[in-house]
Amino acid sequence: MMKYAGFYPEPTGMGGFFMRIRRIFFCLFLYAVSPQSRAQAAPPALDAYSLGVSLFHSQNYAAALPLFQQAVQANPADAMAHYYLGSCQETAGDLRGEVLNYCISDKLSSDPGLRAYADKAMDKLSLEDQDWVEQRLAAFSQPPASMPLSLATPAPAATGRFGVRLSTEMSFFNLSDFQADLDTVNSAVQGYKAANPSYNYNLQTAIPFLQAGLEVNPYFTDGQDTEWGAALAFWPATSVTYAITDIHPQYFVRSKWDLSSFELLLKGRFYFPKTAPKGVRFYLEPAAGIQPIALHWTDDYQHTAATPSSNQEGWDAGSTALGAGLLLGTVVNLGKDALFSFSAGYQLSSASDFQGTWNDAGVPSRNGAQGSLKMFKDPSTGHRSIIFIPNNPDLLAAFNENQATLNDCGPFTVDLSGFRFKMDISYTF
């Protein structure tokens, strides 16, 4: 037999037909078993998923992550691909992506244990990231038929939400003018003791330095990092008192100032660092507004050296302080939309120009008189005391005052400035 170019001549007839059939099947076999043919014939998602699983079990999570991203983009309904992608994102520190893909995996193939784990991880996310996950889950429920789910596109802009915050707070303050008045009373009592030692005069005083308050603060948040709102705080009455007694139980002097106020504030809250979960964040809270202050003073006395010998007198007065403050705080996550926060800072608030009405049971000519509160400074001793000056000059004599008294008067001030501490619970709707 002759050979042509190294080949046997092709048989003719039925033998040649069967040889051609065998050659075709042999070529198809070589094509099927070659790696190049598998890469071309198999679906890309299947290749990416299979290679990703292999890398995942080799603990090469960084290399597996982009392969699982390819797999879920090509086949969004693959629950296991979403699970593996979420696991890789967890090792990479991508908490937002981890939660999203675990939730999608559970949605595609219910797994209560996985969902519980995802819910706990969700609580660690910021409000903005929680909104991102929820919007993506809602979009995934009905994915566009012509477009695969993309996890790389930016999240939609966060919409604003409203919330409310309830607070308890403690504030230190310095009631210096009240203290000056008590110092004057103490000096007078020391004089009584020196003049009449046998009378055994006794002075008891109380002046607070701390006050408790309650606050409600509706607010609007434009995302995870900023809040704006208005706050209404109520500070119940706190009292400054003194009582003078001696060996005669029927003789006494008892004075009491009740001070109460409320605040109407505009405030903001700025969280930082911006990318940290809520449970480890801090915030600055500036505030500014007004603080109306109400004062009620009563003076009961019974002795023979005055006219009348016994009486109950006093006044009601008020003024409005301008206030501003700054707090630094930290927050603890209580759930998806609830926060507990603690803060400390300093508040400025001071008021003068107190106007009011005198009440007098024993002297009708003074009862109902309109006037203002002043701080009188005795020119001979330097002692200062709180006095009521009627607006009508004709009533000065009725109050045992005169024009010279007015010349030695200055403004009476209630200074509520001081350090402030707050604890609050917030809920965003």
Q: What is the model's pLDDT at position 89?
A: 92
Q: Which residue has the tokens 């046998």?
A: 198
What whole-number distance in Å separates Cα of residue 387 and Cα of residue 228? 42
Q: What is the model's pLDDT at position 145?
A: 40
Tokens linked to 214: 């309650």
pLDDT digits (tens, 9 = 90+) for 217-256: 999 987 668 999 999 999 998 999 999 998 888 888 999 9
pLDDT digits (tens, 9 = 90+) for 166-217: 999 999 988 999 999 999 999 999 999 999 999 899 999 999 999 999 999 9
Q: What is the model's pLDDT at position 195?
A: 93
pLDDT digits (tens, 9 = 90+) for 249-295: 888 899 999 999 999 999 999 988 765 544 568 999 999 999 999 99
Q: Give the residues across from 262 on adjacent strands.
A: 234
Confidence grade of residue 42 (pLDDT, cut at 50, 70, 90)? very low
C-alpha triplet 271, 159, 162: angle, nearest 5°: 65
What whole-number distance in Å separates Cα of residue 173 and Cα of residue 375? 19
Residue 362 has pLDDT above 90, yes or no: no
Q: What is the model's pLDDT at position 167?
A: 97
Q: Which of 187, 175, 186 is nearest to 211 (CA)?
A: 175
3-state secondary structure of 142: coil
DSSP 4: B
C-alpha triplet 346, 351, 357: angle, nearest 5°: 145
DSSP 128: H
Q: Which residue has the tokens 């609830």?
A: 338
Residue 328 has pLDDT above 50, yes or no: yes
Q: Which of 414, 261, 426, 259 is nearest to 343 (CA)?
A: 426
Residue 342 has pLDDT above 60, yes or no: yes
Residue 120 has pLDDT above 90, yes or no: no
Residue 9 has pLDDT above 50, yes or no: no
Question: How many CB atoms are closer than 10 A to CB 66?
Answer: 13
Residue 3 has pLDDT above 60, yes or no: no
pLDDT mean over 359-382: 93
Domains identified in the chain and CATH numbers: 15-141 (1.25.40.10), 161-428 (no CATH)
Q: What is the model's pLDDT at position 14?
A: 52
Which phi-psi region, left, alpha or beta, contains residue 5 (left: φ > 0; alpha: ψ -120 to 50)?
Answer: left
Q: What is the model's pLDDT at position 429?
A: 85
Q: Which residue has the tokens 């809520």?
A: 278
Q: What is the model's pLDDT at position 146?
A: 39
Burial class from Cβ neighbours inside 10 Å (0-12, 13-18, 19+) for residue 241 reads middle
Phi and psi at residue 5, to the nearest 5°: 50, 35
Phi and psi at residue 398, to the nearest 5°: -65, -25
Q: Report the range of poorest mean pLDDT among 101-110, 140-149, 156-165, 330-339.
A: 140-149
Task: Decide: 117 and 106 in contact? Cβ < 8 Å.
Answer: no
Q: What is the model's pLDDT at position 148?
A: 43
What whole-number distance in Å separates Cα of residue 141 and Cα of residue 138? 5
Residue 40 has pLDDT above 70, yes or no: no
Residues in the chain: 429
Task: Decide: 284 and 344 in contact? Cβ < 8 Å.
Answer: no
3-state secondary structure of 251: coil
Task: Provide the mean pLDDT of the chain.
Answer: 83
pLDDT mean over 84-99: 91
What whole-number distance in Å separates Cα of residue 133 and Cα of residue 128? 9
